[in-house]
Amino acid sequence: MILLWFMLLVLVTPANVVSLESDQPQCIPKEREALLSFKKTTYHVKDDDLVNLFLLDPNFDYLSSWANDQNCCNWNGISCDQQTNHVTAIDLYGGLNVIGGEIDSSLAELQHLNHLMLGKMNISRIPKFIGSFKELTYLNLLDNEITAIPNSIRSLKNLTHLIFGHNKITMIPSFVGSFKELTYLNLVGNPISGVIPPQLGNLTKLQSLDLSSSSQMSNYEWISRLTSLNTLTMSGVNFTVEQLQSFKGAPFLSSLSISDCLFPKVDNFFLSHTNASFQSLQDLTLDGNSIHDPLTITWLLNSSTHLMQISLSNNIINGSFPNSFQQTKSLQFVDLSSNEVVESGVPKSLGNLPNLKKLVLSHNNLGGTIHDVLQNLTAGSTKNSLEILDLSFNQLGGGLILDHDFKNIFPNLQVFKLDGNKLIGLLPDLSSMPNLTLFNASNNKFNGISSNGENNRAVVDLSFNQFQGKEKLKATTIIDLSHNNLFGKLSDCFEGFQKLIVLNLGYNMLSGQIPSSINMKTIETLQLRHNNFSGNLPSSLKNCTSLQVLDLANNNLEGKIPSWIGERLSKLVFLSLKSNKFHASIPLNLCHLVQIQVLDLSINDLSGTIPSCIKNITAMVRNDDQKVTITSSSIMRYMFGHVSFLYENVASITWKGVDHEYVKILGLLRIIDFSSNKLNGEIPIELISLTQLVQLNLSRNNLFGKIPENIGSLTKLDSLDLSHNKLDGLIPISLANVTSLSYMDLSNNRLSGRIPTGTQLQTFNASMYSMNLGLCGPPLSSSCPGDPSYSTRDNEGGDKNVGEIWFDLPWFCKGIGAGFVIGFCGVCGNLWINTSWRLAYFRRMDNIGDWLYVMINIKWTLLRRKVLSLQTYSNSRP
């Protein structure tokens, strides 16, 4: 009987009940079919910015898991209820998932949805059936093409989150105020204008409101009725100070951001007699508002006794910062950066904030000495709490205080930035700041480091100073001493740097061999360019298996390029051995560097052929995983927990014949430069498979043969230099299809025939085709056989058979020189060796000289007589 009841229970159990064999919900068939129908209406889109930012494969199909034979509850972006198996959430963001499409009617089948996220999918309309999702609490249609919030959604009374940011909505409908359960409303980035419906004041549960970049709006009184509001963001919205007063009616408002709003000019009387008090305000951001009066800062500091963060960057505050910060003891974060017209120093009141952790005063015109600034900041309680101090890019001068005065200053400081000032003298002992992890004093005029203390720090950037000789400096992760005057041998003492990530000693005068103690597995960037290092590359570098950037250009290194570079340094993205003395052939193992994006072996003594295996460098074939910059990262702990510090690599690259330094777009470049070597053989056809190449430079070698016919496959090529080789044959017609080409040099080869007609090829200067005596057609002045101008010139006795001259001008010039030498030696050599010939020759020359002397005198005498007779005749006439 029990068995019978159990079987009956199984038979009557609905199909949508969770399986007893698994806790995983099972998809309801009709809902799976609805989702599959929706999938058919989507399409592949590409957002290069997001692909680069999140390192996505642009060909990745986010909906590939959406298939007939799979449980839809396991599909990407789909969630189901554990009890009913109904689909309850769709979470798709086209920018990350590389999909787009409209909201298809098939989704109407999903009546139990409570979460719908369809962001950045190019959606232009919201169908009426959305209003039937009675259980919906979260609706996010961010980053689409929607022009209006439709009436159909007014029935969604359970909404708690409504997000229509970055669309094309021009007005807010009044029914939005009827969503009594709404806690989060985001309409950022819409061109909303006019009167905001006062019904929004009925949203008594609203906690966060963002109306940023909403053009011109009026009527803000309703904000004071939002009794639960704690975060208000209205950046880009112009308003008056009186309207700002209405914001303080929200009793629980803790965060207010109104940046880029053209904060109106306020007279001193208003500021002195108006209370800006907010009951609960803790975070105030007023960046980019053209605030110019320092008294405004004082007025804002009085806005709340609980104020913890204030940001007034990118304003035009003139004169001096007010000395009124001490009245807000709760301040933890102060940002007054980029107020370019500030001329004074740092107010003393900033030194009396016992809770201040972060102070940013960068990019101002702060004057005076660094000694006075630090004295003001350490006079009170601030010195014990401060963790981040940024004084970079000001006009501060003088030297840092001496070691014995530097003791116990900022004991909790973790980030100290002084770069871009006019500081001089010695760097003090930093060991008295035991928590200091990042110290940046680059772009100053420091010339040495105090001998006391070891200055152990996680990140040290002292580039672009005037350090001389050998400096003792230790850092655990990043050292940058580039662009100084360091000289002598680099000490072989890097054993203790096993956590080093970046070592940049470029642009100094260091000599000797590269130390073998540089062998740490953690190092990602090693830049030693523009020094005088010599000898072979130490084999210890093969242990640096994390290297991404290896720049040893412009030194005196010699020997063969080690094969272990390709075998062991597989993560290399940038390799430059330019301008050294490396010889022999290019090792085949370099083809194992599949991630290499910039490969520069120019100006060496390399010989042999270009290896055909170069096609294996897949980073120059595929378009995925492109980073805008090439960075090395270091994780540090300060103020807000673990924070990633990114070191942006700077690379010097010969671009279109001129040296340039690249930072911001370095990661987008795909470059091969083998110029100025002794390479021979033909250009390998496999090179043409590197379709992402942006620059190819094979100039000044001994390459021969024809330019590959399908070189036009390199459609992204911006710069091509094949000059000064022995290439012959025709210029491939396919090259005319490379519309991105802005620089090309094919001069000094043996090319012949007509220059192909194309958008780019006729725009280059004729010198880029010069010394190819067989070439004809624009932009060259020489016409080709069959051209009208060609036959005209032929009949006029001009150059005949233009385009069919096959002799090589360099050899012709050499022949003239050799002929002159042989002729000269043949005559003068005989006169030197044969005495009788020499005597006869000089006797003959003497006779010729005597004869010339006599003849000249006779002719001169006859001429004088004739002139005198003519004068006598003229005088005798009446």
Tell me the per-residue pLDDT of 664-673, one tens digit each, with 9 for 90 and over. Answer: 556 678 899 9
- Identify residue 229 by its one-letter amino acid code: L
10 Å Cβ neighbour count for 257?
18
Q: Does domain 269-455 have CATH number 3.80.10.10?
A: yes
Environment class of residue 478 by beta-carbon count within 10 Å: exposed (0-12), middle (13-18) or buried (19+)?
buried
- Return the top range by mean pLDDT from 209-213, 651-655, 857-861: 209-213
Give residue limits of the domains in the chain: 269-455, 489-698
Instruction: Find out if CATH 3.80.10.10 is the number for domain 489-698.
Output: yes
| Of 292-296, 487-491, 512-516, 870-874, minimum mean pLDDT range | 870-874
As a residue count, the chain comes to 878
Across 434-443, 488-497, 801-810, 861-870, least confident range: 801-810
Tokens encoding 318: 């003139």
Q: Which residues contact 476 (CB under 8 A, 6 or more apart)?
A: 456, 457, 458, 497, 499, 500
pLDDT at 658: 72
Q: What is the pLDDT of residues 22-52, one digit of tens each?
A: 567 888 999 999 999 999 988 876 555 444 4
End-to-end CA distance of the chain: 172
| pLDDT bucket at 840, cuts 50 / 70 / 90 | low
More confident: 227 or 804: 227
Angstrom distance (rounded) from CA 450 to CA 778: 65
Report d(CA 60, CA 37) in Å as an integer. Answer: 20
Give the tens place of pLDDT for each residue, 711-742. 999 999 999 999 999 999 999 999 998 988 99
Instruction: Report how far residue 236's alpha carbon sits from residue 286's, in angstroms, rounded to the nearest whole number.
Output: 11
pLDDT tens-digit map of 265-304: 666 655 555 565 777 899 999 898 888 888 788 888 887 8
pLDDT digits (tens, 9 = 90+) for 258-269: 888 876 666 665
Higher pLDDT, 505 or 8: 505
Query: Which of these, 392, 399, 444, lies nearest to 422 by C-alpha position?
Result: 444
Q: CA 93: distance to chain centroid?
A: 25
Domains 269-455 and 489-698 share a fold: yes
- For the residues of 62-130, what is the DSSP string, one character each? GGGG--TTS-GGGSTTEEE-TTT--EEEEEEEHHHHTEE----GGGGG-TT--EEEEESS------GGG
The pLDDT tens digits of the residues spanning 405-463 come to 566 788 888 899 999 999 999 888 777 778 888 889 999 999 887 765 555 667 888 99
**Residues 6+ positions from 354 with CB-CB distance below 8 Å:** 329, 381, 382, 384, 385
Vertex 535: Cα angle to 532 and 540 (nearest 5): 110
Tokens of 666: 């370095």
pLDDT, residue 293, reads 80
* pTM: predicted TM-score of the whole model, two decimal places: 0.77
Distance (Å, rounded) from C-alpha 592 to C-alpha 33? Answer: 47
Can you tell me which residue has the tokens 């009925």? 202
Task: Find, among 154, 203, 146, the residue nearest to 170 by Cα.
Answer: 146
